[in-house]
Structure 1
Amino acid sequence: MKPARPSKSPPLELPEVCISEDGGVRHLHLETPWIQGSMRIAKPIDLELEYVQRMMAWLLFVPPDDVPQLHAMQLGLGAAALTKFCYKRLGMRTTTIELNPQVVAACMRWFRLPANDERLQVLVADAELAVQDSDWHGTVDALQVDLYDDEAAAPVLDSPDFYAHCRQMLTAQGCMTVNLFGRTASFRRSLEHIAQAFGADAVWHFKPTREGNAIVLARRDSSEVSSALLRSRAEEIERRWKLPARLWPHALQAFATTGETA
């Protein structure tokens, strides 16, 4: 387990964390109405939001039996949904990089985030520097990137260089999933930056959810995976972990084939 080593001190002024509840669902906000993450109070480990469920689509590209031996990393904690799911439901070694210590504290108090242990590390650090740390290179099997500030206008980190560093973090069979807003002018630019770093043949994407979130997948290994294998794994994912995975193979679009935005 890599020791907790902060990348740098966080900025002096970070947005305050706010909590709201509606219909049995608890939401995390950063000083604005924008929802940064959610948890159904009665089912704290389940993934409540559709786009967060789709952030798990990397599971299509690995044998299900191998999952507990893999390493997941989240850039951006949000309401800790992905962190808890990977750590508790999938039994993975899990690392999270979060800039705002208030978010970590709120997740521990309000969103059932466990304390760090031999399999879980939540680090207060800067994701931009963390991805450049050579100690992480080639160690991450599932990299989940969801980096939005309180304005939620565009990803905070979104350059070809940033995505190239993300690619370096991945194992040979590793996959990155990124949350983007699919109905904004920045989506095409972000998609092209990811394709520039990973290669067009390695990039897939979903159409936006009702809320506008479009999930992009980028694999370090761009070799072709058969439709039959994807369907088979989707059925197994749904059976084991109760994710709506049977929809994913039909909804995923290969960037190299379509060349279109979501």
Structure 2
Amino acid sequence: MKQANVPHLPDVQFSDEGRIRHLHLDSIWIQGSMDLRDPVRLVHEYVQRMMAWLLFVEPDGVPRRRAMQLGLGAGSLTKFCVKVLRMPTTVIELNPGVLHACRGWFHLPEPGPLLEIVLADAEQEIEQAKWWGTVDALQVDLYDHDAAAPVLDSVAFYAGCRRLLTEHGCMTVNLFGRRASFHQSVARMAEAFGPSALWRFKATREGNTVVLAFNGATQGGDPGSVLRQRASRVALSARAEDIEARWGLPALKWLKGLEPVFDTETP
């Protein structure tokens, strides 16, 4: 495990609300949650939506793909990818306290054949060429203790994220904040990926908006065309049913909720 030299970082705490445990970084803002009775269940709707890239890959091939998370949070996505999907997974986290908390309080597994943990600044780490073109599912959830806006949110950062992806790779990003930063964030993503590559869900009640950014064609063709064509959506519906049966994720609801960020073509 690689460790970064980091400045002072916020302390990490947890709180319990019935059977749900929350992670905090020196504030009331929730950085992630776990069901104490079912530690691998994805508690929050937006976290479930971060798995929506599954709609665009063959389910049987998921264990042969690679996931990467930028930001560990409470370890929910990492645990799900490793323990449920059985995917090789790399997580990049800046704060050692978050890692220790996830191990002690949130059932994060130790590194092994399916899990690599890198303690580093994600902005710097993704510039290492060894990661380029290796990631099929990139999940980005980077917030400080104030949860006001993404910590990394530049065109250069999103271009670096795109470099990580395989030809058919997909980035999912959680956008949340008390400032109206959504439009600025997606404009930067559009500059890095192209406007037609971006799809989104409507915000959850808590204010989280998940955006999908596709590096290129999916196995079924261009993502936008696949989602717009009625015949393709029938096939996607069958895949969504498969996802729900295999992994208990609300994939049929995802399919109904996905919409283009920019309406670049007429349906």
Instruction: Flag whether TM exceeds 0.5 (same fold).
Output: yes
Deviation at 1:172, TM superposition (A): 0.5
Deviation at 1:198, TM superposition (A): 0.6
For 1:22, which of 17, 23, 31 is the aligned residue?
Answer: 17
**Once the two structures are aligned, what percentage of the paired residues are identical?**
57
Distance 2:131 2:179 in 1: 32
Tell me if the contact between 1:28 and 1:78 (Cα under 8 Å) persists in the aligned partners: yes
Structure 1, residues 175-211: CA drift from partner, whole Å, max 9, x if none? 0000002774100010111111111111100000010
Using the size of structure 2 for normalisation, the TM-score is 0.92
Aligned to 1:234: 240
Distance 2:116 2:243 in 1: 25
Matches within 5 A, 1:64-103: 64-103=59-98
Aligned to 2:146: 151
Structure 1, residues 189-248: CA drift from partner, whole Å, max 9, x if none? 101111111111111000000100000000111413232232222111111000111101
Distance 1:229 1:134 in 2: 36
The DSSP-based 3-state class of the residue aligned with 2:262 is: helix
Q: Which runs of 5+ in 2 are unaligned?
A: 227-231
Structure 1, residues 94-145: CA drift from partner, whole Å, max 9, x if none? 1100000000000000000011012101111110011111110000000000
Tell me if the contact between 1:50 and 1:209 (Cα under 8 Å) persists in the aligned partners: yes
Tell me if the contact between 2:22 and 2:30 (Cα under 8 Å) persists in the aligned partners: yes
Number of residue-to-residue matches in the alignment: 254
For 2:190, which of 187, 195, 200 is the aligned residue?
Answer: 195
Aligned to 1:166: 161
Distance 1:32 1:109 in 2: 20
Distance 1:201 1:136 in 2: 25
Distance 2:263 2:141 in 1: 25
For 2:45, which of 36, 47, 50 is the aligned residue?
Answer: 50
Moved over 4 A (4+): none
Aligned to 1:118: 113
Query: What amino acid maps onto 1:124 in structure 2?
Result: L
Tell me if the contact between 2:147 and 2:176 (Cα under 8 Å) persists in the aligned partners: no
Distance 2:117 2:16 in 1: 25
Distance 1:52 1:66 in 2: 22
Tell me if the contact between 1:182 and 1:207 (Cα under 8 Å) persists in the aligned partners: no
